[in-house]
A and B are shown apart, each in its own frame.
Chain A
Amino acid sequence: MLSNFLLKKGTLAGVLFFCSFQVLAQNWQDKQWLRLGVYRNTLFGYESEADHSSYFASPEGKTNPKKELKALIARLNEVEPDPKKNIHCRFPARIRWLKKYMSVPENTVVCEDYLKFKNRLAAKSISVVFSSYYPNNPGSTFGHTFIRLGKQKNEERDDDSTATELLDTGINYGAMTEGAGPVLFAIGGLAGWFYGNYNAVPYYYKVREYNDFETRDLWSYQFDMTQEEIDLIVDHIWELAHTKFDYYFLTENCSYHVLSILESARPTLHLHDHLPRLYTIPSETLKALEKEKIVRKITFRPAASTQFYHQLGLLNKEEKKSVQDLVFKNIAVPDYKPERQALIYDTALSLVDYKYAKKILKGDEDAQKIKRPLLVARSKIPVRSEELDFSGKMAEAPHLTHGQKRVAITYLNRDSKNLMDVEWRFAFHDMLDNDLGYPPKTKLDIMKAIVRTDGDKLQLRDFSFLDVMQLGKWDAFNRASSWKAKLGHWQTRYKGEDLATEGFTIGYGISRGFNIFTPFALAHLENSYVSDTLFKYKLGYGADVGLLTEFNYAWKLWSTLEWRVHPWDESRVLNELRYSNQSFGLGTYHQSYLIDGVQEMGLRIFKYL
């Protein structure tokens, strides 16, 4: 049987057959083979995450890496003139891998599109770019990551990272949601209705989109990878680009796939092992990169707003006033030295770019009428701008953040009874947590539960599906408002009793920073359901007035008067002090109800995971 086969196929094929037999037996479970096929171990054996049959050489390839390897080897000799179908043009990464183990026949077809793609990318370096939290939209709270393939080696850019960076290529993985509104996207994203795919665009589109349009900082984590590894990644991306994946925004999202791509190039990397299976939070994937010690250098690209506040910090009081006059009152700048004048104009331009970002980038005429006179005047000051130094930002890099899961134990005394609260939070950050690497003055608790016990009974005190608050920067230059929202289960207070309630609260107002102090005032509205009362549905209203004091990243004090008109019983004064670092926290609080003076005070211990 075998000899017949050899006779028929000729000697070359025979050799190929023998080699391949060995390759197949020894290597179908090779880690890199499985990674290049995007296989995962499931209850029912292997299954590839790739969802398109064209990703495989065998019709059973999706669930059978062994048959897939066999089919790939068997098809190496195929004479297929169409590059779209030719096996060498379709699977350059897997064939590159195969070449380590056997000799592969030369490809006789010119893979035109593939070569074009590879040449245009001209990848010589690789980074993972983190697009930071989008302060004005909780939608991008977790940040976003994508791959940047550089056209120069990292070392060549150490002196001036920005000279040619814009010409790099961003490789982005995202959901294909064309036509789906946010609601549909949300449900579909959770349920895996959408497909995800890769696209490659010039990095400058990414910079304009994130830095300028959405005012988000960009952090690049550079890796030291060999040219061989980078070439394999490019080939792998080429293969991935021709398939699609089920998109799950909690698990198999952008950051998840970015890690998979890096792993495919280097079998010794185990990035996914540092992450939980149930969800992938972009900033947490950066920690995985650090843990595997593959980060060579981190570079920073400021958002329009970051640039503005940095420049503003270089000006004195009088000069800041000039910026205001220039932008808002059209009053010319008085006679400063040309260097100072240039800086004032640069700051004014950054302000316009930040404040009217969306209009300017869409070419809006009114925005141009504001910006152009500033530009013309700036060009006439005979001083070229200095490059801004953002090296101080490195101390706030996004991988330095505290763990996003948190457990806390509170020993408290209420109305002379001793009680204990046990709290668990899935994610993410609150006003008093250490905010190194996080957007300032922001709270976003997702899935937080507090259980209270008196040593006897257990009671679910509080459950937040979502509890969010943002104290916006309301200053002379920009008027960002403050707001809050909460959805969940908590205790309401009525006639001296705690009653369980479910519903939502919202609030809107202003806050302003003075040095370490941030006073704020928000109107409060609540719509909830209380089963234990006559009124059942409760429409509560009132206001929160308070002061956030931030001594530094770690030490913070929160003081508020939560004044409620309906029901009045709930009005209280609350003070909470906390010290916290990346993994531990210690705090104390005191609260007192206005109506009857019932007090509660406690000591809190936090562990960030």
Chain B
Amino acid sequence: MKFILVVIAMMISTAALAAKPYGMAGCGLGSQMMGKEGNQILAATTNGTGTQTFGISSGTSNCITATEQTAMIRNFIEANYASLVTDMAKGQGDSVKTLSNFYGCDTAAFATEMKANYEKITPAQENATAVMANINTVIDHSATLSSSCKHAI
């Protein structure tokens, strides 16, 4: 009887109930900073995608430093890497829309520029820091973006 219970339990349990984070990402920067002792829910508070992010995009708040913004964007790029590079190549998708939002750009213009400069932006090996630096360069060099992106780094 016990054995049977165990087998059933194995079949119906794990993923539904104990969703595991994938790969290295885990719960991200936040949870790494919190460590084992930390209260998990606080992870969100150090994960850098809070009200300020949205404040930036809607241009109503100026309350974070450039360093914090950089950390947020880098974290976003790293966590959404596979989806983001696909969206950039296609010129469409919510990862690229969200990234555009971070920089305060016009979404269509941003997506078009990312697509046009795709090969320059993404290195052969996954590298979030390099991608971010390249995006910043593209924004700087684009007449449309550098004038329209409200929160370019």
Contact = CB atoms under 8 A, between A and B. Distances in A.
B126 to A, nearest CB: 4
B139 interface: no
B98 interface: yes
B17 A205 contact: no
Interface in B49-107: 49-54, 57, 76, 79-83, 85-86, 88-95, 97-98, 101, 107
A446 B13 CA distance: 13
B7 A466 contact: yes
Contacts of B124: 368, 372
Contact of A384 (B22, B40, B90): B90
Nearest to B22: A213
Contacts, number: 243
Contact of A385 (B43, B51, B85, B92): B92
Interface residues on B, range: 35 or more
A199 B83 CA distance: 24
Interface string A177-212: 100001101110110000001111110110011101
In the complex, which of the residues B27, B82, B126 has the most CB atoms of chain A within 10 Å of its own CB atom?
Answer: B82
B15 A241 contact: no
A466 B95 CA distance: 41
Contact of B97 (A144, A163, A199, A376): A163
B81 A363 contact: yes
Given A113-B45, A164-B57, A197-B40, A143 B14 contact: no
Interface in A160-185: 162-167, 169, 172, 174-175, 177, 182-183, 185
A238 interface: yes
Interface of B: 4-19, 21-25, 27-28, 30-31, 39-45, 47, 49-54, 57, 76, 79-83, 85-86, 88-95, 97-98, 101, 107, 111-112, 115-116, 118-119, 122, 124-126
Nearest to A122: B51
Given A183-B6, A202-B49, A163 B94 contact: yes
A387 B92 contact: yes
Interface stretch (A134-142, A527-535, A585-593): A134-142
Given A163-B98, A385-B92, A465-B4, A185 B22 contact: no
Nearest to B24: A362
A518 interface: no
A443 B123 CA distance: 45
Interface string A503-521: 0000000000000000000
Contacts of B13: 139, 182, 185-186, 189, 249
A222 to B, nearest CB: 17
Contacts of B43: 199-201
Contact of B90 (A166, A189, A361, A378): A378
Contacts of B7: 465-466, 487
A139 B12 contact: yes
B59 to A, nearest CB: 14
In the complex, which of the residues B22, B91, B95 has the most CB atoms of chain A within 10 Å of its own CB atom?
Answer: B22
Given A242-B39, A372-B124, A167 B44 contact: no
Interface string A252-265: 01100000000000
B14 A198 contact: no
A73 interface: no
B11 A205 contact: no
A183 B10 contact: yes
A120 interface: yes
Interface in A104-131: 113, 116-117, 119-122, 131
A45 B100 CA distance: 55
A384 B50 contact: no
B8 A205 contact: no
Contacts of B79: 202, 204-205, 208
Nearest to B97: A163
A189 B89 contact: no
B98 A208 contact: no
Given A119-B52, A139-B15, 10 more contacts: A139-B16, A142-B12, A142-B16, A143-B16, A200-B40, A238-B41, A368-B124, A372-B124, A379-B91, A385-B93
A175 B44 contact: no
In the complex, which of the residues B13, B52, B107, B118 has the most CB atoms of chain A within 10 Å of its own CB atom?
Answer: B13
B17 A174 contact: yes
A378 B89 contact: yes
Given A187-B6, A378-B90, A466-B11, A200 B17 contact: no
A5 to B, nearest CB: 38
30 contacts: A117-B42, A119-B51, A121-B51, A122-B54, A137-B14, A139-B11, A143-B16, A144-B19, A164-B98, A164-B101, A166-B94, A166-B98, A167-B49, A183-B6, A186-B9, A186-B14, A189-B9, A200-B41, A201-B31, A201-B43, A201-B44, A202-B44, A205-B79, A208-B83, A209-B21, A241-B41, A247-B17, A375-B118, A465-B8, A487-B7
